[in-house]
A and B are shown apart, each in its own frame.
Chain A
């Protein structure tokens, strides 16, 4: 009667800090947990913004150079465009009942996914452990990452 799924594991690398770049990582991680797949997310470079206490609620999205934004790059680079796009995107997400990034991190933590910050990026951006949000489990190196990711499918976003 039991139709078992083979034991799976995913390692997701989140390396960008845009609203549209962070969500896919978080949603993939959450969907993995919902499907009974072990998951952990590794935040590096600009991805650190998504787990930094002071920045997590103010992530923007970049329109300039985005071919899908339907907006000429010249216009997309104007001041305020980023905030506008971010607020529009947030509005649409609210309509879909999508949780905020902060909430998503909380849900990921509660659902058993593990969140890690990249040590090198932390040093580069001069951030301390205290600057990160509570759900982050640890600060690890790339080597640790590979140890953790043994047997996992790696997704780079």
Chain B
């Protein structure tokens, strides 16, 4: 039993020492590797630093930063939908690019650009000059080409207009323009005059209150001072039965005039009379029926019910103001 346990112990010590030896060996190898690698790493770091410095000097990083910003703008300016649409359109775009870059087309473009380059040398031309120029065969051909282009553009514009009606493309353009800034907006074609504010155009007309009627209509002019035709109970009247001097008016006098006119003064009548007087004091013009209806919110019918005979005139008489002018 004893020897047996001793053997077991020895065997365990053996395995332990083997493990220790393995660990020591590994540690040594790592240290060796480190010693070997250090100069290399140092070299690499140095090279990398100079390299990065170089790149920085050449402006790669600035460029990269800008590129990221551009990417940001594109991402904020376009929705995933836009990108999908772009993917759909890519074939068309490539075809267009190919068509435009055909040698024949490029030749025409280069010819045209040459003319534009020498545009400072051309002579000014008037209407007659234009007519004369059309005799030239080349000009005629050019005109035919232009006409055809115009026809196609017109047709395409119609299609675009139709498409734009249902697509919120304008909104996207506006969003992009907002991101890019106002300077580019003109280039994008999103610079538009601000829509005119729709002020109460759709709102139903509201009858103004007594305070905000505005000046009387052009037809109503201030009455000329009429001569005194009669003096009754010490009060002067004109020939048509109105007070000669509006300032001598009092509520008591109003009651007496109303009685003579056959009008019983109740609250409704007083409202109209007071409005007429206030309006006269404000504008210097006696209000006509239309103005009274606008100022008191009464219907014409109500006014004729309150003052059955010639409402505006009767009101003016009771209010002690001149005869109203104007036809309405």
Contacts and interface: CB of A to CB of B under 8 A. Distances in A.
Interface of A: 1-3, 27, 30-31, 33-36, 95-99, 106-107, 110-112
A126 B121 CA distance: 75
A35 B313 contact: yes
24 contacts: A1-B232, A1-B260, A2-B241, A2-B262, A3-B237, A3-B240, A27-B327, A30-B327, A31-B327, A34-B310, A34-B312, A35-B313, A36-B309, A36-B313, A95-B218, A97-B218, A99-B290, A99-B328, A107-B300, A110-B299, A110-B304, A111-B300, A111-B301, A111-B304
B272 interface: no
Contact of A2 (B233, B261, B299, B327): B261
Nearest to B219: A96
Interface string B300-321: 1100100001111100000000
B217 A97 contact: yes
Nearest to B233: A1
Interface of B: 217-219, 230, 232-233, 237, 239-241, 256-257, 260-262, 288-290, 299-301, 304, 309-313, 327-328
Given A107-B300, A110-B299, A110-B301, A1 B256 contact: yes
Contacts of A33: 304, 310
Given A27-B327, A34-B310, A34-B313, A3 B299 contact: no
Nearest to A36: B310
A97 B287 CA distance: 13
A2 B313 contact: no
A111 B261 CA distance: 18
A95 B328 CA distance: 14
Contacts of A30: 327-328
Given A1-B237, A106-B300, A110-B301, 5 more contacts: A1-B256, A30-B327, A98-B217, A110-B299, A111-B289
A98 B239 CA distance: 29
B18 to A, nearest CB: 113
The 7 A-B residue pairs with the shortest CB-CB distance in the complex, in nearest-first order? A36-B310, A97-B217, A110-B300, A110-B301, A1-B260, A3-B241, A36-B309
Contact of B311 (A2, A34, A95, A98): A34
A137 to B, nearest CB: 15
A2 to B, nearest CB: 5
B66 to A, nearest CB: 58
A98 B327 CA distance: 9
A153 B136 CA distance: 79
Contacts of B257: 1
A96 B240 contact: no
B142 to A, nearest CB: 39
